[in-house]
Amino acid sequence: MTEILFYLPLGAVTMMSLLGLWLAFIMPGLDGWSRRFFKLLFLDLVLCMLAYLLDLIVCEPSGSVPAIKASWFFESLFISVPIPMLTAYLLHCCEESVYKSPLIRAAAVLWLAYVALLTAAQFAPFLYDVGADGQLVRGSWYPMGPAPLIVIMILNFRALITRRRLLSVKTYHAFLVYLIPLTSAMIVNSFVLNYLLIDVGVSVSSFGMFSIILFEQIEQYMRQQREIARQQASILILQMRPHFIYNTMTGIYYLCDQDPQKAKQVTLDFTTYLRRNFTALAGGDTIPFTEELEHTRAYLAVEQAQFEGSLFVDYDTPFTQFRLPPLTLQPIVENAVKHGMDPDSEPLHITIRTCPGDSCVEVIVTDNGPGYTPAEDNEPHIALKNIRQRLEMTCGGKLLILPNEGGGTTVKVLIPA
């Protein structure tokens, strides 16, 4: 039963350390400094667990005093390494110079004092000794052993409190998750000779800290990706087709003599289109569908004025009470017009529909054009990729492109209800 009580936490801590090491290698979002820190941290914990396992399996059964002392030396050494590492990581998170800080120098001196005590304990029993049963027993000076590490932890805690305004809330809490349980375990260990308690404390604290910081950096990474997608959308706005603007202005010029009333309406539609385009630059994550539909109507009205008799649009949008990222519907329709308009073919028919469902709202754009060719990596298709990315990152939506049986293309936008 005693062996089971030792092996169970040992196995759990080892698995937790290996999991943390694996995540530190593969998870996106971690900056380079944090990734290196957690790699070294969990690698050190794995080595500590191996030293403890070696002590249980080989050293204690053999009863060899030098072997038992050596195993405890390496276990104690490995378990102490993360403590000054935490000091360096705290300074890094506060954007302070790690190498010039008096705090890291104090931590280094205290850690070297701890290593010196461990080394001396190999030759004198003032910290601990090996009993007749092969178990370690406390020496008269045993509380002095963990004292330098406890002082480092107290210095780290004081530095954290004084620098809390330099850290995000999650990072601050992550350091507290690391410091409080580990410091408590070390103080208890000053009176009870049980390094497994420290092993468990370090591992649980490390994994808790790692989880909080990992989640925060993933959130930051996702925010950066959303900003990149927004900037890509802004670039698409600023790269409006020159010939579309030129043709629209030329058409309005001739309409002023031929049909002044129509020229006024096309000017109003074109103004609405431009206003919506540039409003999207300063827009938030999502906008009401009615605004996106107004933007699309204005664009199509301008195109219909230029391609009179060749472009027909049907609207079937009874459900409009939902939101979606700006520049979602309009670029899809523009893509259909750009690919589908052919003077030598039959008129282009575009249908825009909305269909509410239990789990999502569907926005469906259907055309009878030549169809979608995924192999072509030109600008309109890049625009569709951008829409898909913004949908996924902004609201968890999807974009599907399906060929029609009789020719043409159907584009579906799925917005979670």
Helices 147-162 and 169-189: crossing angle, nearest 10°? 160
> Smallest Cα–Cα separation from 281: which of 354, 339, 232, 336?
232
In CATH, what class is 2-225?
mainly alpha
pLDDT in tens, 119-146: 888 887 777 777 666 666 777 787 788 8
Instruction: Concatenate the DSSP letters of all residues of 180-203 into one string.
Output: HHHHHHHHHHTTS--HHHHHHHHH
Low-confidence ranges of the chain (pLDDT < 50): 376-380
Residue 155 contacts residue 111 (beta carbons within 8 Å): no
Distance of CA 151 to the CA centre of its chain: 35
The architecture CATH gives domain 239-416:
2-Layer Sandwich (3.30)
Selection from 413, 227, 230 nearest residue 322 by Cα: 413
CA neighbor of 341 nearest in space, from 379, 366, 378, 367:
367
Give the model's pLDDT for residue 248. Answer: 80
Rg of the chain over CA atoms, in angstroms?
A: 33
Pairing status of strand 360-367 against strand 311-316: unpaired
Beta bridge partners of 128: 138
User: Is residue 15 helix, strand or coil?
Assistant: helix
Q: How far apart are CA 85 and CA 67, in angstroms?
A: 28
Helix 195-238 and helix 32-54, axial crossing angle in degrees, nearest 10: 160
Q: Tokens in use for 181?
A: 């349980």
Q: Beta strand pairing status for 360-367 and 409-416?
A: antiparallel
List beta partners, residue 137.
129
Residues forming CATH 3.30.565.10 domain(s) in the chain: 239-416
Q: Who's near 261: CB < 8 A, 6+ residues apart?
A: none
Query: 332-347: per-residue pLDDT in tens?
Result: 998 888 888 877 778 8
pLDDT the model gives residue 155: 94
Spell out the residues 6+ positions from residue 298 whose beta carbon is closer than 8 angstroms to its own.
269, 270, 272, 273, 276
* Single-letter amino acid code for the residue at 267: T
Three-class DSSP category at 84: helix
Of 220, 217, 239, 233, nearest to 324 (Cα)? 233
Contact 359, 370 (CB under 8 A): no
**CATH 1.20.1070.10 domain locations along the chain:** 2-225
